[in-house]
Amino acid sequence: MSDPEVSFETRGNIGLVTLNRPRALNSLTHNMAVELKRQLDEWAIMPSVQAVVVVGAGDKAFCAGGDVVKVTQSYKAGTTEWRDFFHDEYLMNIAIDEFPKPYISLVDGITMGGGVGVSIPGDLWVATEKTLFAMPETGLGLFPDVGGGWFLPRLPGETGMYLALTGARIKAPDLYALGIASHVIGSSQVEDVIAALAGTEIKSLDDAKEVLDRFHANPEPAPLAEVMDDIDSAFSGVRVEEILEALELDASEWAKKQHKILMSKSPTSLKLTFAQLRRGEVLENFRDNMRMEYRMVNRVMEGNDFFEGVRAILIDKDNAPVWSPNTLDRVKDTEIDRYFTSLDALELKI
C-alpha cells in the first residue's frame, strides 16, 4: 500500500499535517486539497486539537506548487478535473484563512505557488535557512493565485507587486523583513518545535507565538533592503508599461536585470497580475479575493499562455515559451477586464 499524499496525526495538543510527496517536492494535488480541508473542518470542532502545524516531507521542499501539468492535461482532454482542482484548492485556502485555531506553517525548503496557498493564509509562518519562496506564475502564463491578490498588495511598499510580476525568489532574511515569515528557526529545529508546540497548552495565538519566540533567531540583513527605494519607485506605476519604462530609464544593473526578467514573462499574465493586485488591495476580505481569483483562473484556461508556459517550463523544458499576444501593447484593457466578470452558475461555491 502506497503512502498517503498528505498525512494527519495528533501529537499532544496539536494536529500535524505532513505534505507527503517528497519525490514531487510535495506538489499539491486535488486529493491533497480536498483531504486537508476535510481534516481542518474536523479539527476545528475537536477540543483536543488546540492548533494545527503543517510541514513538508523530505529535506528539499515544503510544497513546490500545484500539479499544473495535470491541470492542463485535464483541460485538453475535456474533463472537469482542472476546474474541480482549482475550486477545491481555493476552498482549502479559505478554510485555512478562517480556521478558528492557530495554524502554523513550518516552511522548511522550497515553497512556491500552491505551497504558498497552504501556508500564507494561516497565522504563523516559520522560515528556515533552507526556505526558498517565490510566486513564479507570470512565467507560466498564469497569475499568483491561492490568495496572492490578498497578501501581496499588503506587503510593504511595492514589494508585493515586484514579487508578483518578476517571480523573484527570496529567502529567510527577506521573508522576515517583509513580514511574510513571523519567525526564523534552524532547519534542524523543526522536530523540536513540533514537540514543543505539542506539549504546550495553546489557548490563544499568543501561546503559540511564545513557543516559536523561544526558537527564533534573527536572520542576516535582508538583501531587498538595499533596493527597497528602487522597488517602490519603479513598481508604483499605474500601468505595467510604466513599470517597464521606469526600469528601462534606470541605468543600474538591478534595473536592467528586472527589465530583462519582465520582458521574458507572459504579457497577458503581467497585465492580469497587475490588475489582480490593484483590485485585491481594496477588497474587504479573503473570501472576496478567492472569488475574484476563481473567475480569473477560469478565464485563463480559455486562453493560450498557461498551456504554453507549462509546456515550455515543465514539460518540454526548453524555456522558450511563445506568448500570444507577444507584446504588452497587444493585450487590451477590455480583455483584461473580462477576466474579472462573473462566471454565473460556475462561480466559486462558498
pLDDT of residue 3: 86
Instruction: State pLDDT tens for residues 74-99.
Output: 999 999 999 999 999 999 999 999 99
CA dist., res. 285 & res. 150, Å (int): 8
Active site residue 114: yes
CA dist., res. 311 & res. 73, Å (int): 11
Active site residue 145: yes
pLDDT of residue 44: 98
Q: DSSP 3-state assignment of 299? A: helix
Residue in 114, 122, 141, 309 annotated catalytic: 114
Active site residue 186: no
pLDDT of residue 186: 98
Instruction: State pLDDT tens for residues 202-233.
Output: 999 999 999 999 999 999 999 999 999 999 99
Residue in 12, 15, 66, 122 annotated catalytic: 66
CA dist., res. 12 & res. 310, Å (int): 42
Q: Which residues of 322-345 are buried (b: 16+ CB within 10 A; e: fewer)?
A: ebebeebeebeeeebeebeeeeee
CA dist., res. 77 & res. 79, Å (int): 6
pLDDT of residue 174: 98
Residue in 137, 174, 230, 305 annotated catalytic: 137
**Residue 1 above 70 pLDDT?**
no
Residue indicated by cell numbers 496572492:
148
Could you tell me which residues come within 8 angstroms of residue 281 by beta carbon, excluding any fewer than 6 positions away? 153, 154
pLDDT of residue 336: 98
Query: Sign of torsion, CA 204 56 313 245?
Result: positive
Residue in 145, 230, 293, 305 annotated catalytic: 145
Count other Cβ atoms within 10 Å, centred on residue 260.
10
Instruction: State pLDDT tens for residues 251-309.
Output: 999 999 999 999 999 999 999 999 999 999 999 999 999 999 999 999 999 999 999 99
Residue indicated by cell numbers 479559505:
94
Instruction: State pLDDT tens for residues 172-188.
Output: 999 999 999 999 999 99
Which domains can be identified in the chain, with CATH numbers? 6-346 (3.90.226.10)
Q: Which of 31, 10, 50, 35 is nearest to 202 (CA)?
A: 50
Active site residue 66: yes
Instruction: State pLDDT tens for residues 50-66.
Output: 999 999 999 999 999 99
pLDDT of residue 52: 98
pTM, rounded to two decimals: 0.97
pLDDT of residue 286: 98
Whether 45 and 23 have beta carbons less than 8 Å apart is answered as no
